[in-house]
Amino acid sequence: MNGEYQVQTDKKEKIKLDSDIVEATWLCGAAHGGTSAALKVTTYAVAEGSSIEIKGFSSKGKAPGTIKGEIYNNEFTGELPIPEKVELGAQIGFEAKLPKHGLKQDCQFTIPATPAIQVSKMCWDKAEVHRGDIVTLTTQFVNPLPGAQAQIIIYEFDPDGHHEKYCAFPVEIENDKIEVKWEFIYKNDTSQIPIETERQKYQKHYVPVEFFFLVVVDGVRVGEGQESGKVRFRDMIELKYTEFDGTPVQNVKYKVTLADGSTLNGNLSADGTASLDNTVAGKFAVEYFENNDNNS
């Protein structure tokens, strides 16, 4: 197309642009039975809200369904429903059609059809995790997934359902299984975790910091029901009590009130310190008392 157009500036001119389908492509690498496959259609000079029809086809067996939509910003994205039962070896494609423009175009490439993704095992190798721990995430698939692209997404659990995406990373499927190690580093501010007294204002209780994971295979999300189970974050507290000049304060007892309202009591060591391992995550309060127990 010639990008140059010359016209007199003192008169009106109409320019007619020929609409076109520039690209019709899949956004996933395979079509899994019983799910839907993401696709994208890019157009040129098509008015906002113009109708589009997507019709699936298969090289053998039952063809995918049909969807309708509208073009905006010369683009349409959607998901084509894939039949529950698909024949192995089938190649799935689609035709994009703009009825009012008399345009239609097949997708640039087809994708293989595979059975519905099923897992027999999805879990962490630990129930609790501390800063710097290495935890193993395992997912065992029932059916073969040759050449599938996979990703793990880890979420921080929220009791109200507003789970926060914590991190995501690509993984490989080997022998129909994903087994990957992840180093746990808590990146959020523990002082922002609502503690027991704060949640009681809303007739609720402290919620421990927990995580679950999903596996995304060729755009299909597995584990939405938190089948992975949850791993709980356990923190630690370091206490140090000194005079203004830095001299350790000895013969002192402490009481720590944790984020969940529970308490820990003990004695500081000779250097005025104490280490509390495996505590709940969140803000805490410390009280010090003179130790009058001569036997302690």
Confidence of residue 4 (pLDDT cuts 50, 70, 90): low
pLDDT reported for residue 6:
67
What's the pTM value of the predicted model, to 2 decimals? Answer: 0.74
Residue 279 to residues 89, 209, 261: CA-CA distances in angstroms? 53, 11, 12
Looking at 42-46, 128-132, 140-144, which range is the least confident one? Answer: 140-144
Q: How much of the chain, in percent, has pLDDT values that exceed 70?
A: 96
Q: How much of the chain, in percent, has pLDDT values that exceed 90?
A: 76
- Mean pLDDT in residue range 258-267: 96
Residue 71 to residues 17, 78, 159, 279: CA-CA distances in angstroms? 17, 11, 38, 54
Residue 67 tokens read as 């969807």
Confidence of residue 290 (pLDDT cuts 50, 70, 90): confident
CATH assignment, 119-233:
2.60.40.1930
Q: Is the pLDDT score of 198 beyond 80? A: yes
Q: Is the pLDDT score of 251 beyond 90? A: no
Residue partners of 50: CB distance under 8 A and separation at least 6: 43, 70, 71, 98, 100, 101
Distance CA 77, CA 25 (A): 10
Q: Are strands 128-129 and 231-240 parallel, antiparallel or unpaired?
A: parallel
Q: Is the pLDDT score of 16 beyond 80? A: no
Domain range list for the chain: 20-114, 119-233, 235-290
Widest pairwise Cα distance in the chain: 104
Domains 20-114 and 119-233 share a fold: yes
Q: Is the pLDDT score of 211 beyond 70? A: yes
CATH assignment, 20-114:
2.60.40.1930
Distance CA 126, CA 233 (A): 11
Q: Residues 256, 271: contact at Cβ < 8 Å? A: no
Residue 26 to residues 72, 76, 201, 258, 285: CA-CA distances in angstroms? 18, 12, 50, 51, 55
SS (H, E, C) the chain: CCCCCCCCCCCCCCCCCCCEEEEEEECCCCEECCCEEEEEEEEECCCCCEEEEEEEEECCCCCCCEEEEEEECCEEEEEEECCCCCCCCCEEEEEEEEHHHCEEEECCCCEEEECCCCEEEEEECCCEECCCCEEEEEEEECCCCCCCCEEEEEEECCCCCCCEEEEEEEECCECCEEEEEEECCCCCCHHHCCCHHHHHCCCCCCCCCEEEEEEEECCEEECCCCCCCCEEEEEEEEEECECCCCCECCCEEEEEECCCCCEEEEECCCCCEEEEEEEECCCCEEEEEECCCCCC
- Mean pLDDT in residue range 243-257: 91
